[in-house]
Structure 1
Amino acid sequence: MEFVPHQYQEYAIQKIIDTPAVGLFLDMGLGKTVITLTALKELDENYFDAGKILVIAPLRVAQDTWSRETEKWDHLEDITISKILGSRNQREKALKADADVYIVNRENVPWLVSMTGSKWPFDTVVIDELSSFKSSKSKRFRALRRVRPLIQRIIGLTGTPSPNGLHDLWAQLYLLDQGERLGKTITGYRDRYFVPGRRDGHIVYEWKQKEEAESRVYDQISDICVSMSAKDWLDLPERIERMVPVNLSTSTRKKYEQLEKDLLLPFEDGDITADTAAVLSNKLLQMSNGAVYNEKKEVQQIHNEKLDALEDLIEAANGKTILCFYTYKHDLARILERFPQAKKLEGPEDISKWNKGEIPLLLTHPASAGHGLNLQDGGHNVVWFGLTWSLELYQQANARLDRQGQKERVVIQHLVAEGTIDEIVAARLADKTAGQDALLDAVKARIEKVQEG
């Protein structure tokens, strides 16, 4: 296929060429992979300035997305790719192979750094989903930080650079400019742009942004970071979101309310306990979906109402494909048992079959399909069997279908158990404030209300 870049793509390509350390904060569906590959090809062939190229990506993206983009576009078809994936022997063999682009999953970055050390061979590094390096304490960040001085060009790609606030930006920007704009240390960054919030003595549990911190930070990084929104550049089909209420039976509701009130639900096979707000919120989400892990880590079946609701949606789809997001392993097991035609997304072959319309019900966890997978050719119906409190995962997951190339109206349906924590999560997602802290605050408020009652 011939690549005819949009105006924003031409701008982004040139920005990569002109900027040795660049962050492209591109909304889902704007084509960041083809933009990056086109720029790298231009740098290599016309500027002789790419050197040896490494792409760091989520596992499924490393397995499929980058190689599929080279196969899709005519101008990229001569690019050879070596995937540093699999067993240690497979990774070592791929590292020694002759290729234009090497791809490694982010979990293997510490291994790759330890393997190469001071002989780090890559001149250009692309971090696909830069936001996955937002923690300065993570092994992957610390490993890449060690070899950052040896990298000549670095490209950071993400649609959600700060899903939980400005605090997420420091580590990502450090990998781009080694602390030039936001400081050499996370401590210094906090001192400049935050004030301590909730604390216990010297231990600070929460940092609050100073007034105008956001504008000051964005001003500091604007010369090397570009942010683009899909709604400003793409004429995408309409997207419809609806909540599908799931009514729980009287007996199920009593069990739910007992667990919520007493933090303990007794069963003959093993009690279900929840001793903190975080654990309780997790248990209540499980119960809303229909099954819960008990104290023996066994699955305790509670109800089938969401399975029944999913069956209704499948029937209403009238043969059209559905991409269904589940939360827990017992969700997956119960859906597969109920719907033999369903298939769990496990690799590139499943992606290909889905995009050909050969899988009627594709099941995946939002964390597994949250970044980079192009599924828009296979359908336009999304069902959330269980909700996530991560706004980043939620937005990224929906963008697997709601993205450039989608030709149909995207319909996103959420199975929401009435009178449960599902409604709290759905409300947080709707007002774009979802996140673990917001959810736990809501759960704590709910606990206090129940106990007062």
Structure 2
Amino acid sequence: MKFIPHQYQDYATKRILDTPYIALLLEMGLGKTVSTLTAMDLLLNDYFDAGRVLVIAPLRVAEDTWAREIEKWDHLQHLRISKVLGSATARRKALKAEADIYVINRENVEWLVSEYGSQWPFDTVVIDELSSFKNPQAKRFKALRRVRPMMKRVIGLTGTPAPNSLMDLWAPMYLIDQGERLGKTITGYRDRYFTPGSRSGHVVYEWKAKQEAEGRVYEAISDIAVSMKAEDWLELPERIDRTVQMPLSPKAQEQYKKLEKELLLPFLDADVVASTAAVLSNKLLQMASGAVYDEDKGVKQIHNAKLDALEDVIEAANGNPVMVFYNFKHSLSRIQERFPQARILRKGKDGNEDIRAWNNDEIPLLLLHPKSAGHGLNLQESSCRTVVWFDQIWSLEEDQQANARVHRQGVRHNIVVIRLVAEGTMDEEAVEALERKASGQDALMEAVKARIERMKGHE
């Protein structure tokens, strides 16, 4: 296919060429991959300003997306790609292959750094989904930090630079400019832009951004960050969001309330910390979806309201494919049991075949987990008009990325995003938080505390 770049793609490519280290903060659907590959081709073959290029990406993206983009566009098809995936033996073989671009999944970054040590060979590194390096304590960040001085060019790609809070921005930006703009340490960054929030003794559980911190931070990185919103550039077909409220039967409602009470009673007069709130919320959301694990890891059924609602949605789709996001294993198994035609996205080459089959309307019902399908997958070429969230989640980043698998450049029709919400359950708080564009620990803790307070009122 002949590549005729949009204005914003042309601009992004030129910025990569002009800026040795840069963060492309482009929202989903703006063609970050093809813009980056176009720049890499020029740097390798016209400007001779890149020698060996490494792309670090989520596993599925490393397996499929980069190679698929090269095959798709006429001007890129001469680029040789080597996938550094699989066993250690397979990875070493891929590293020895003659190629222009080497692609590795982010879980193997630590291995790659230890493999080369001070002989790091990649002068140009692309970090696809830069925000996944937001934890400065993570091994993948520490490994990349060690070899960062040996890189001549770094390109970071993400649509969500600070997925949960401004605190998430320091580590990714350090990998871009080695701390030049936001400081050499997370402590210094924290002291400059944040104040301590809730704490227990000397341990601070949350940091609150100072007034005008966001503006100051983005001003500090403005010369090495290209930020674009899809809504400013793309005329996409409409995305329609619908919440389908399902009243539970009196028996299921009673069972939910009983289990919720058992879970929350121990915390009526106790402080709820983030880790506890996450566990409690997880249990409540499971129950809202119709089942929960008991002490023996067995599945305790509560209701089938969401399965019945999903059946109605599939029928209303009139034969068009339906994409369903689930968050719990028991939800997956219950959906598969009710709908034998459902398929999950497999790993490796099988997964690439699944993507092809989905885009050719050969899969009627595709079941995806938001964590494994959130980044980089191009699933917009099918006739799918309906996306269903069977289980509700707290992560705004995962929600946005997952929905953008089909509502992105290339889609030819409106997309309806349906959230199945069990009335009177934690589902309602999770969806309300996403609608407010709140996410993460703060929203989760607020919701759990609110349910505890409500229980106190009924005591």
Question: TM-score band, normalised by the shorter chain?
Answer: over 0.9
- Which one of 370, 379, 386 corresponds to residue 381 of structure 1? 386
Q: Distance in 1 between matches of 2:76 and 2:343?
A: 32
Q: Write out per-residue CA displacement over residues 295-320 of structure 1, whole angstroms, 9 at most, x where no aligned residue.
A: 11221222111111100000000100
In structure 2, the partner of 1:154 is 154
Q: Write out per-residue CA displacement over residues 93-150 of structure 1, whole angstroms, 9 at most, x where no aligned residue.
A: 1111111100000000001101111111111000000000001000100000010011
- Which one of 353, 356, 368 corresponds to residue 352 of structure 1? 356
Q: CA deviation at 1:448?
A: 1.8
Mapped pair 1:445 → 2:414: no
Mapped pair 1:371 → 2:375: yes
Q: Write out per-residue CA displacement over residues 375-430 of structure 1, whole angstroms, 9 at most, x where no aligned residue.
A: 00012310000111000000000000110001100110111101111111111111
Q: Distance in 2 between matches of 1:256 and 1:228?
A: 44
Residues 321 and 361 of structure 2 are in contact (CA less than 8 Å); yes or no, is this contact kept in structure 1? yes
| TM-score, with length taken from structure 1 | 0.96
Q: CA deviation at 1:201?
A: 2.7
Aligned partner letter, 1:73: W
Aligned partner letter, 1:360: P
Aligned partner letter, 1:451: K
In structure 1, the partner of 2:255 is 255
Q: Write out per-residue CA displacement over residues 328-358 of structure 1, whole angstroms, 9 at most, x where no aligned residue.
A: 1111111111111110011111111000000
Percent of aligned pairs with the same amino acid: 66
Aligned partner letter, 1:289: S
SS of 1:24 mapped into structure 2: strand
In structure 2, the partner of 1:110 is 110
Mapped pair 1:435 → 2:440: yes
Q: Distance in 1 between matches of 2:241 and 2:370?
A: 17
Residues 83 and 103 of structure 2 are in contact (CA less than 8 Å); yes or no, is this contact kept in structure 1? yes
Residues 258 and 264 of structure 1 are in contact (CA less than 8 Å); yes or no, is this contact kept in structure 2? no
Q: Distance in 2 between matches of 1:133 and 1:284?
A: 30
Where structure 1 has 5 or more consecutive residues not aligned to the other structure, the ranges are: 266-274
Q: Which moved more, 1:231-240 or 1:438-447?
A: 438-447
Residues 324 and 384 of structure 1 are in contact (CA less than 8 Å); yes or no, is this contact kept in structure 2? yes
Residues 166 and 214 of structure 1 are in contact (CA less than 8 Å); yes or no, is this contact kept in structure 2? yes
In structure 2, the partner of 1:269 is none
Q: CA deviation at 1:451?
A: 2.4
Q: CA deviation at 1:436?
A: 2.8
Mapped pair 1:407 → 2:409: no
Q: Distance in 2 between matches of 1:286 and 1:431?
A: 22
Q: Distance in 1 between matches of 2:18 and 2:366?
A: 41
Q: How many residues align?
A: 444
Residues 261 and 451 of structure 1 are in contact (CA less than 8 Å); yes or no, is this contact kept in structure 2? no
Q: CA deviation at 1:255?
A: 1.1
Give 1:50-199 correspondences, 5 Å limit.
50-199=50-199
Q: Distance in 2 between matches of 1:232 and 1:187?
A: 36
Q: Distance in 1 between matches of 2:209 and 2:285?
A: 31
In structure 2, the partner of 1:292 is 292
Q: Distance in 2 between matches of 1:440 and 1:201?
A: 19
- Which one of 362, 366, 390 corresponds to residue 362 of structure 1? 366
In structure 2, the partner of 1:270 is none
Q: CA deviation at 1:264?
A: 7.9
In structure 2, the partner of 1:271 is none
RMSD of aligned residue pairs (Cα, Å): 1.2
Where structure 2 has 5 or more consecutive residues not aligned to the other structure, the ranges are: 266-274
Q: Distance in 2 between matches of 1:352 and 1:143?
A: 35
SS of 1:187 mapped into structure 2: helix
Q: Write out per-residue CA displacement over residues 267-299 of structure 1, whole angstroms, 9 at most, x where no aligned residue.
A: xxxxxxxx9432221111111111111111221
Residues 8 and 233 of structure 2 are in contact (CA less than 8 Å); yes or no, is this contact kept in structure 1? yes
Distance 1:14 1:382, change over 3 A: same
SS of 1:368 mapped into structure 2: helix
Q: Distance in 2 between matches of 1:216 and 1:91?
A: 42
Distance 1:291 1:284, change over 3 A: same
Q: CA deviation at 1:202?
A: 2.2
| TM-score, with length taken from structure 2 | 0.95
Residues 81 and 101 of structure 1 are in contact (CA less than 8 Å); yes or no, is this contact kept in structure 2? yes
Distance 1:441 1:290, change over 3 A: same
